[in-house]
Amino acid sequence: MPVGKWLDVGTVDQIEPGTARTLPVEGREELAVFRTMRGEVFTIVNKCPHKQGPLSQGIVHGNVVACPLHNWNISLETGRALGDDDGCVPTIPTKVEGGRIFLLREAVLNPQVADAADEAPKAAA
Ligand code: FES
């Protein structure tokens, strides 16, 4: 887990398994906090990388959400579009402790896109 300040955004019980809650962030993109059927919690920017569909309203299956607009499958772990689709939505490191959800503060203010780390080694090769 990254080191830094964590923001308490409420209890895990407030999110039904297999659904998401939106979290407005002043001056930033709205976030979507997902709870999977297995009880894992993930946070991503609430905007599909295709045409900005509200991912919080999608159907969760495993650690993936299907966008409600055109059904792209987005990994909740990496934010990446799966299959033949191409795109990535920023993710926010998230942890659950004592039944409460915590988001990494720096990432809330500057959401992380997973692409950068993956592409750096190719450029160096
Ligand atoms: S906007 Fe999400 S699949 Fe098109």
Contact (CB, 8 A) for 24 and 47: no
Ligand 1: does its nearest atom lie under 6 Å from the Cβ of 72?
yes
Ligand 1 centroid to residue 125 C-alpha, Å:
34
Query: 60 in a domain, yes or no?
Result: yes
Domain hosting 90: range is 6-124
| Overall pTM surpassing 0.85 (yes/no) | yes
Output the domain CATH number for residue 68: 2.102.10.10
Buried b (16+ CB within 10 A) or exposed e, 3-27: eeebeebeebeebeeebbbebeeee
Ligand 1: does its nearest atom lie under 6 Å from the Cβ of 51?
yes
- Write the pLDDT tens digit of every residue in 76-119: 999 999 999 999 999 999 999 999 999 999 999 988 776 544 44
SS (H, E, C) 12-28: HHHCCCCEEEEECCCCC
Overall domain count for the chain: 1
Query: 1 in a domain, yes or no?
Result: no
Query: 19 in a domain, yes or no?
Result: yes
Report how far residue 46's alpha carbon sits from residue 68's, in angstroms, rounded to the nearest whole number: 12
Residue with tokens 């297999």: 18
